[in-house]
Structure 1
Amino acid sequence: MKIVIGCDQGALELKNYIKEVLAEFTDITVEDVGTYTADSVDYPDIAEKICAKITSGEAERGIALCGTGIGISIACNKVDGIRAALCHNVFTARMSRQHNDANVLAMGGRDIGFGPAAEMVRVWVAEEFLGGRHKRRVDKIMAIADK
């Protein structure tokens, strides 16, 4: 699986740590689309880069980070085909995959500690979409963009 990861300056340290966590998985490749310094950047630009890789098929999933995770998750969800879930704990990360087939995990670099973030990423990477009644619901969510 290929995962694309990106952040603004508010989550640079968390992004770099998460890349180390993802390196634990031999079946995952990671592409980092920035930012790479503490200089201020606009998170919608990073969100676009992450989502473009997913919607083009270059990556299966993405991890999007900003100071709170709120702004970048909103920006990601503006892209057709993206289901970004802002998660704050292992339970929400698990449910985002099992019930919502989230293809982007969003987190806040200023409100999630490294330990909890690592556990969330490990669970999110490992979980599969359950389908069934959840697929019907995800299909309805995705159809909203067509209206």
Structure 2
Amino acid sequence: MKKIAIGSDHAAFQAKINLIEILKSWDIEVVDVGPDSGENPVEYVPIAESVALKVANKEVDGGILMCGTGVGMSVAANKIPGIRASVVNDLFTAQYSKSDVDLNVLCMGARVISERIIMEITKKWIETPFTGGRFIPRIAQLHDMESKYLVK
């Protein structure tokens, strides 16, 4: 990945700032969609929407969202067609969510896992390629299901 959109709520603000520095040290361009401060409560839905839209519109190669648990961000991001977002709390899931599902938005909970684990999960997710092959029809099935229920 060369370019990643990232966002958080107030609970994960400091983890986001620290992760941005790490991503930049890995020569990854970062688009920070907010917030600019962790001092006041921030609604997570608009942040998730912004990152997910950048991913869906192919403005970036992937997205990272963080909140207290990662769950709210994941639910919100998955409302955008073409997004495959999930909460990831361990390295095994980081690897297989990318290799098998081609996860395009990584969600993590700053109140659930340490910043060290956040960095390790992110690295594993970035470095793991999508396997393709037998997983391509499964991704197509997800797209078909999504299209079936889109309000027209």
**Considering the TM-score relative to the shorter chain, is it more than 0.5?**
yes
Partner of 1:31: 31
2:53 maps to: 52
Tell me by how many angstroms 1:85 deviates: 1.8
Residue 36 of structure 2 aligns with an amino acid whose one-letter code is: Y
- What are structure 2's unaligned runs of at least 5 residues? none
Output the CA distance in 2 between the equivalents of 1:40 and 1:14.
15
Cα separation, 1, equivalents of 2:7 and 2:101? 21
User: Structure 2 length normalisation: TM-score?
Assistant: 0.93
Gaps of 5+ in 1: none
TM-score by length of 1: 0.96
Q: Within 1, Cα distance between the matches of 2:29 and 2:115?
A: 20
Within 1, Cα distance between the matches of 2:52 and 2:127? 20
- 1:80-139 CA deviation, whole Å, 9 max, x = no partner? 011112100111111111000011000001111011111101111111100111111111
The 5 Å alignment of 1:1-147 reads 1-26=2-27, 28-38=28-38, 39-147=40-148
Whole-angstrom CA distance in 2 between matches of 1:14 and 1:92: 20
Instruction: Report deviation, 1:24.
Output: 2.4
Flag as ranges the 4+ runs of structure 1 deviating above 3 A.
none
Cα separation, 1, equivalents of 2:113 and 2:21: 16
Which string of whole-angstrom CA distances, capped at 9 and with x for unpartnered residues, describes residues 64-86 of structure 1?
A: 11110000000000100111121
Aligned-CA RMSD value: 0.9
Structure 1, 49-58 or 70-79: larger mean CA deviation? 49-58
- Give the letter aligned to residue 131 of structure 1: G
Could you tell me how far apart the structure 1 residues matched to 2:16 and 2:136 are? 30
Instruction: Please give the secondary structure, in 2, of the residue aligned with 1:23.
Output: helix
> What is the identity percentage for the equivalent residue pairs of Structure 1 and Structure 2?
38
Q: In the aligned structure 1, how far is the partner of 2:73 from the partner of 2:58?
A: 20
C-alpha separation in 1, matches of 2:144 and 2:43? 29
Distance 2:120 2:95 in 1: 10
User: What is the alpha-carbon distance in structure 1 between the residues aligned to residue 113 and residue 24 of structure 2?
Assistant: 20
